[in-house]
A and B are shown apart, each in its own frame.
Chain A
Amino acid sequence: MKNIAIIDYGIGNLYSVLKACEFVGINAVITNDKNKITSSDAIILPGVGAFNDAMNSLNRLDLVNPIVDFSKSGKPLMGVCLGMQLLLSESEEFGSTKGLGIFEGICKKFPQINGDLKLKVPQINWNSIYPNNNNNSFKTNTPLEDIKSGEQMYFVHSYYADLVNEDEVLSKTIYGGIEYCSSISKKKIFGFQFHPEKSASEGLKIYDKFKEIINNKIE
C-alpha cells in the first residue's frame, strides 16, 4: 500500500482532506515531519487562510525545500485551495509574498467591482469548471479526467491565480465576469482552487482518480 502525507503546517482543515482520502481508500497520514514527507509516495498540500502566514509556517517548519524537491521527484503532488496557490511563484497578498514557485503564476485579489458587476469577496459558492482552450473535455491522465465540462465544485477564496502558463492551466472558472485559472497541472503535480473534498460525489471522483495516479495505473 502506498503512503501519502497530508502536510500539516498548522492551518487548514486537514480533517476533511483525510476523510476524503479514507473514503476513496488512500492511506494518508497528517504530518509535518520532513523525513516522512520526503519518503512518501505522494503528498497533499491543503490550506485555508492567508498566503504569507502559510509560507511563514512552511519556512519555520523547514518544509519549503522538501516540498520543492518532492515536486522534482516525479511523484504525485496535489495542492488544494491555498495549497494550490502556494505552488505558484507569488501572491499579491500583503504587497507581495513569494510562493513555492513550482508553477509560474501570481495570486491576485478579486475586485469588489468589475465593470457593472459587484462581487462578493470571498467567493463562497458552487461554481462551474471548464477545460482550458475551449476543449470539450479535461486533460487525460489528470484527476479531472472523468469530470464533465461545466461540473460544479465548491469554491471558497478571495485570491485567484493569474498569469499561469497556458499549457499548465487545467481548468477555468468565471466569477463576477472574471475568467480565471481554477486548477493547474504539469506531469503528476496538480493544484485545485476549489475543494474536491467538499464537492460531494464529483469531488470524491477527483480523489479517486488521484489514487489511480498514485498507484501508477495512469502513466
Chain B
Amino acid sequence: MKNIRIIPRLDIKGPNLVKGIHLEGLRALGKPSDFAKKYYEDGADELLLMDVVASLYDRNSLHEIISETSENVFIPITIGGGLRTLEDIKSVLRVGADKVALNTAAIKNPRLIQQAVNKFGSSTIVISIEAIKQENGDYFCFTDNGREFTGIEVIDWVRKVQELGAGEIIITSVDKEGTGKGLDEELISKVSKESSVPLIVHGGIGSKNHVKSILEYPSVDAVSAASIFHYDYVTKNTNKKTAGTEGNTEFLLSGRNVKNIETISLNDLKEFLFQNNVSVRKNK
C-alpha cells in the first residue's frame, strides 16, 4: 500500500511563522526554521512553506528562511506565495527549494504552468488551489488567500492544470482552513476523482482522526496541516521563547483560539496512523 505523506504547512510573513483562520487574521508564532527543523526531526515527509503576504519588495527574508531551513532539513521543501515568473521560480530553487506551488500567477497566465514544467520538470511544479464553496454548491478557485474570486470552477481547473503538465496539486478548503473542524470531504471527493497526479489535501485538520479520515479517498496522496503541529510545538516550547519580537503566543496559552484543535506531534500522529492501518513512513 502506498504511503500517505504528512506535510506540515508553514505560513510565513516576513521573518515569522504565522497562522490564521480562513487564511486571514494572522498571528506570529515564531521562527520558521525552528519549526521546520523540529518537524524534520519528528519525521515529516516534506515541508510546505507559504509566503502568505508575498510582498514583491520583501523577498529577501523568504530567501533567507529557505536557505537557513535547507541547511538542516533533508526532506523536500515546497515554496509558494507570490511566485510570478520563471525567474522567481528559479530564484527560490537556487536557495534550496525543491518544488514550487503556484496559484495566482498560474490562474492569470496558465501558459506559465507549461513553461515552468518545460524548464524545471513537471515534478517541480505544484498547483495550489484555494477553493470556496458557492451558494449554488459549486466550488470556485480564489487567489490572494481566498480574497479574490476568479470565476474558475475548481474541477475545470484541476483538469486544465493536469493537461498543462502540473506534477502535483494541493487543494485548500478556505472555508475550513484554520478552523480545526475537519477536511471538506465533499471538495476532496470531487477533486480526488479527477486527479491523475499526486493530490495533497489541506484545510481543516484539527485532530488525528481528521487525518485518518482520508482513508476514505484512495486517490489522496498526502495531507498538509498546520495548527495541530504548530500549537503542539508552541505549547511545549514556551519557556524557550522561540517566538520572535513579533511573536504572540499568549493567545495560544489562554486556550481560547485552539478549542477545536487537538494538538499532536508528528511522531505521535504517525504512530496513531500506523496503528490504524494508514500506511506512513515511520520515523527513525
Cα(A49)–Cα(B121), bound, Å? 4
Nearest B-chain residue to A53, judged by Cβ: B118
A25 to chain B, nearest CB (A): 14
Q: Are B76 and A198 interface neighbours, CB within 8 A? A: yes
Nearest A-chain residue to B218, judged by Cβ: A118
Q: Which residue of the partner chain, among B5, B71, B98, contacts A126 with CB atoms under 8 Å?
A: B5
- A120, A152, A158, A202: most-surrounded residue (chain B CB, <10 A): A120
Q: Are A200 and B40 interface neighbours, CB within 8 A? A: yes
Instruction: Mark out the residues of chain B between 120 and 151 whose CB falls within 8 Å of any chain A CB in the assembled complex.
Output: 120-124
Q: Are A154 and B75 interface neighbours, CB within 8 A? A: yes
Q: Are A11 and B70 interface neighbours, CB within 8 A? A: no
Cα(A16)–Cα(B124), bound, Å? 14
Cα(A127)–Cα(B122), bound, Å? 19
- A50, A82, A126, A157: most-surrounded residue (chain B CB, <10 A): A126
Q: Are A157 and B123 interface neighbours, CB within 8 A? A: yes
Knowing A122-B167, A126-B5, the reply to whether A48 touches B196 (Cβ < 8 A) is: no
Instruction: Determine whether A203 belongs to the interface, using a CB cutoff of 8 Å to chain B.
Output: yes
Which of B88-96, B176-184, B223-231 lies at the interface with chain A? B88-96
The size bracket of the interface on B is 35 or more
Q: Which residues of A contact B168 (CB under 8 A)?
A: 122, 124
Q: Which residues of B contact A13 (CB under 8 A)?
A: 93, 96-98
The size bracket of the interface on A is 20 to 34
Interface string of B193-225 (1 = CB under 8 A from A): 001111100000000000000000001010000
Instruction: Mark out the residues of chain A between 1 and 21 whose CB falls within 8 Å of any chain B CB in the assembled complex.
Output: 11, 13, 15-16, 19-20
Q: Are A16 and B96 interface neighbours, CB within 8 A? A: yes
Q: Which residue of the partner chain, among A15, A48, A127, contacts B121 with CB atoms under 8 Å?
A: A48
Q: Which residues of B contact A53 (CB under 8 A)?
A: 118
Q: Which residue of the partner chain, among A16, A152, A158, A201, contacts B123 with CB atoms under 8 Å?
A: A158
Instruction: Mark out the residues of chain A between 118 and 170 whose CB falls within 8 Å of any chain B CB in the assembled complex.
Output: 120-122, 124-127, 152, 154, 156-158
Q: Are A121 and B196 interface neighbours, CB within 8 A? A: yes
Q: Are B74 and A197 interface neighbours, CB within 8 A? A: yes
Q: Are B3 and A127 interface neighbours, CB within 8 A? A: yes
Q: Are A200 and B75 interface neighbours, CB within 8 A? A: yes
- Chain A interface mostly: mixed
Instruction: Determine whether A38 belongs to the interface, using a CB cutoff of 8 Å to chain B.
Output: no
B76 to chain A, nearest CB (A): 5
Instruction: Mark out the residues of chain B between 93 and 120 whose CB falls within 8 Å of any chain A CB in the assembled complex.
Output: 93-98, 118-120
Q: Are B121 and A50 interface neighbours, CB within 8 A? A: yes
Instruction: Determine whether B259 belongs to the interface, using a CB cutoff of 8 Å to chain A.
Output: no
Knowing A125-B2, A126-B3, the reply to whether A198 touches B98 (Cβ < 8 A) is: yes
Instruction: Determine whether A112 belongs to the interface, using a CB cutoff of 8 Å to chain B.
Output: yes
Q: Which residues of B contact A11 (CB under 8 A)?
A: 119-121
Q: Are B70 and A122 interface neighbours, CB within 8 A? A: no
Q: Are B74 and A48 interface neighbours, CB within 8 A? A: no
Q: Are A124 and B74 interface neighbours, CB within 8 A? A: no
Q: Are B221 and A120 interface neighbours, CB within 8 A? A: yes
Q: Are A125 and B98 interface neighbours, CB within 8 A? A: no
Knowing A48-B123, A120-B221, A124-B167, the reply to whether A20 touches B74 (Cβ < 8 A) is: yes
Per CB-CB distance, the 4 closest pairs between chain A and chain B, nearest first, are: A49-B121, A156-B123, A126-B281, A124-B198
Identify the B interface with A (CB < 8 A).
2-3, 5, 40, 43, 45, 70-71, 74-76, 93-98, 118-124, 167-168, 195-199, 219, 221, 281, 284
Question: Can you report 27 A-B residue pairs in the complex whose CB atoms are below 8 A from each other?
Answer: A11-B121, A13-B98, A15-B93, A15-B95, A16-B70, A23-B74, A48-B120, A48-B123, A49-B119, A50-B118, A120-B196, A120-B221, A122-B198, A124-B123, A124-B198, A125-B2, A125-B5, A126-B5, A126-B281, A156-B123, A156-B167, A158-B123, A198-B74, A198-B75, A200-B74, A201-B74, A203-B74
